[in-house]
Structure 1
Amino acid sequence: MPLRLRPITRADHLAFIAARPSASHMQLPSWGDVKPDWRAESLGWFDEEGALVGVGLVLYRPLPKVKKYLAYMPEGPVIDWYSSDLGERWLEPMLAYLKQQGAFSVKMGPPVVVRRWSADAVKAAIADPAARRLRDAEATSYEPRAFDVADRLRRTGWQQTEPGGEDGFAAGQPRYVFQVPLSGRSLEEVHRGLNQQWRRNIKKAEKAGVEVVRGGYDDLPAFYGLYTETAERDRFIPRPLTYFQRMWTALTAEDPDRMRLYLARHEGDTLAAATMLAVGEHVWYSYGASTARKREVQPSNAMQWRMMADAHELGAAVYDLRGITDTLEDSDHLLGLLRFKVGTGGQAAEYLGEWDFPLNRLLHKALDLYMARR
């Protein structure tokens, strides 16, 4: 039988997530406060006995001039994705409810890993002229159940989409990420897993006197100065300072240790900074920034190592360095960032990506044309 779905309180939503090993930070009630251009709602799935068995944060974005919405569940919802009756029991009640709320299209990001590549496999792929994309390289491991999930989604009318940007209607989260497993490993073992260059750079930073400290709300402008410099250098559009201030306020109000800020300093000069998020056993390196000054003292390696060590101390099962390019060609300016992350000795992971369900095909098509022209 289909589960019952209805709005739930923030407290019930948060309590459900707190009882699990982890969930994406984008499925927390507080994430809705970070996105004021979207209307947020917490939804809950209830079984026949009335027990809460799944939750989701849905963000509604209005279509210009029409009272219709794109309904978006980033890296969610938090449900049993491997259920044999995923469509009928879990997703059909969700689609029916969202249609009632005026949604013309639904976008979601199943938190389901399809395959993984070890650091050695990624390095080999980068060196292989025949491998133009990560998916061209043989994966180290596969999750067979993920392919079953994809089949169930396609059979019930869901369409897999290419990644977009997080802003506006072009909602999208990274399909490929890089993660360092921490579970069952001592910090010494994690350190030994770093490549030689990383270990050398950490030692060099220590000898040079680089100091990595935790900052607070008042240090966000210092982070932001480095972030805008990074945006210009790496060719992306920076978010405003108010976004990070809102993020800090919203997430730390929910849990004082949900978001951290780290700064790497040398002789009083802040050279690198990064934000870190934690939900249960999953820790994310969220936003990073650095200056081109004094690169020889290796502030970024020192800062990342401190963050990994703190994640390990928190009992995290994984330290997630978030998105990576899956393009392996030298012309891709993001290849250097991939090489940097590979040096941690972790693994690349491919998620199922994001999926759309057009509830109103005409409006969904109109949105596609609008985004293509923009």
Structure 2
Amino acid sequence: MTYQLQPISPEQHLAFIASRPSASHLQVPSWGEAKPDWRAESVGWFDGRDRLVGAGLALFRPLPRLRKCLAYLPEGPVIDWTAPDLDRWLAPLPGYLKDRGAFSVRMGPPVVTRRWDAEAVKAAIADPAVRRLRDTEATREEPGARALADRLRGLGWRPSDPDGAEGFAAGQPRYVFQVPLAGRTAQDLQRGFNQQWRRNVKKAEKAGVKVDRGGHADLAAFHELYLETAERDRFLPRPLEYFQRMWTALTTEDPDRMRLYLARHDGELLAAATMLTVGRHVWYSYGASTARRREVQPNNALQWRMMCDAHELGADVYDLRGITDTLDPDNHLLGLLRFKVGTGGQAVEYLGEWDLPLNRVLHKALGLYMSRR
């Protein structure tokens, strides 16, 4: 069978995504509208009967002063990654993107390779001899993942991050933390929390922390906390306009695609977070909090409310997104990992992002530039 790759409308793209159990929020048409520095295009795979069988959101980032661009399919494309004829699925992609000016292609196959349950992660953190999660025995290895990596290498693709960065490097995180929801009650979820998490949720309830949903008008208040969080946790914050644009684009596509949650105590905003939903997959996207009144545990209250709402939506998984791979006790990101492990979920390793150079000179130049940033 020969697959044809061609542009599709946002409506076709969205209808295809809606036919799937889930897909990454980075692969819905509206995500391109949230990224104004990139040119976005929806592309579709058609089989021999002219049926749309795969889709992807391709983002193009132009190089200054050159008529060339980097093509990027974050956490995509949405195709059958288990197909025995995967080579045929991927074959038309490089030529199609090269015709649109791409000098290099980056994609992120949404394929899980390994999982560690909460007990395995806690044991790894407690073991001073263990420096990285990837070096510990996984609770489960997903069949076929290693073979898929070998097939990609055979087709000329190479890992964008061969050393397996900590999960917070450029691009999308390779390691994330997820709480399975399918087949579980809300009581089951809370029983899965560690003792500290259960205590903190109860403490927040007793203290009177209130968690409500906000709207576009509340993004400014969220952003104030977000700037405080960025300074405290040492990361470069995004401007308020980014979140406003993201809200408008995603909620126009689907009113429930993006939510904002606000945790208050005695009327004071202490924590806030955004939540994204596509099909039966829900993500905790961006979080923010103040150092004030931490004793009333607003962050635990916030996450618990979001998990409960995700459960009510019928989600299969609540995704807490990126975690660090390093278990170094001096790494400031380890505290975030401990917080997420307390939910009783699982650490998940994806196949990571992969590059295919179409112009090796420009691709190498881009790599040198990124390494010096």
Shared fold, TM over 0.5? yes
**One-letter amino acid matched to 2:362:** L
Is the 8 Å Cα contact of residues 164 and 172 (structure 1) preserved in structure 2?
no
**One-letter amino acid matched to 2:348:** A
1:6: which partner in 2? 6
1:286: which partner in 2? 285
- Report the Cα offset of residue 164 of structure 1: 7.9
1:60: which partner in 2? 60
- Report the Cα offset of residue 85 of structure 1: 2.2
SS at match of 1:274: strand
Give distance in 2, aligned partners of 1:324 and 1:373: 24
For residues 234-266 of structure 1, give each alpha carbon's deviation from its aligned partner in whole angstroms, at most 9, with x where no partner exists: 000000000000000000000001000000000
2:146: which partner in 1? 147
Give distance in 2, aligned partners of 1:175 and 1:130: 23
Is the 8 Å Cα contact of residues 166 and 326 (structure 2) preserved in structure 1?
no
For residues 76-129 of structure 1, give each alpha carbon's deviation from its aligned partner in whole angstroms, at most 9, with x where no partner exists: 000011122212x11110111001111100000000000000000000000011
SS at match of 1:144: coil
**What residue ranges of structure 2 are gaps of 5+ in the alignment?**
none
Coordinate RMSD, CA, aligned: 1.4
2:210: which partner in 1? 211
1:15: which partner in 2? 15
Greater mean alpha carbon deviation, residues 154-163 or residues 217-226: 154-163
Say whether 1:30 aligns with 2:33: no
Is the 8 Å Cα contact of residues 58 and 73 (structure 1) preserved in structure 2?
yes
Give distance in 2, aligned partners of 1:155 and 1:56: 22
1:83: which partner in 2? 83
- Report the Cα offset of residue 369 of structure 1: 1.6
1:118: which partner in 2? 117
1:70: which partner in 2? 70
Share of identical aligned residues, percent? 74
Give distance in 1, aligned partners of 2:207 and 2:122: 29
- Report the Cα offset of residue 65 of structure 1: 1.2
Give distance in 1, aligned partners of 2:297 and 2:153: 47
**What residue ranges of structure 1 are gaps of 5+ in the alignment?**
none
2:193: which partner in 1? 194
SS at match of 1:30: helix
Say whether 1:47 aligns with 2:47: yes
Is the 8 Å Cα contact of residues 2 and 93 (structure 1) preserved in structure 2?
no
For residues 202-238 of structure 1, give each alpha carbon's deviation from its aligned partner in whole angstroms, at most 9, with x where no partner exists: 1101111100000000000110010000000000000
Give distance in 1, aligned partners of 2:289 and 2:369: 36
Is the 8 Å Cα contact of residues 75 and 107 (structure 2) preserved in structure 1?
yes
SS at match of 1:332: coil
SS at match of 1:130: coil
After the TM superposition, which residues 1-374 of structure 1 pair with which residues of structure 2 at under 5 Å, given as runs?
Answer: 1-87=1-87, 89-162=88-161, 171-374=170-373
Is the 8 Å Cα contact of residues 261 and 276 (structure 1) preserved in structure 2?
yes
Cα pair distance change 1:261/1:210, threshold 3 Å: same
For residues 12-63 of structure 1, give each alpha carbon's deviation from its aligned partner in whole angstroms, at most 9, with x where no partner exists: 0000000110000000000000000000000000000000000000000011
TM-score (norm: length of structure 2): 0.98
Greater mean alpha carbon deviation, residues 361-370 or residues 284-293: 361-370
SS at match of 1:270: strand
Give distance in 2, aligned partners of 1:271 and 1:109: 35
- Report the Cα offset of residue 171 of structure 1: 4.9
SS at match of 2:211: strand
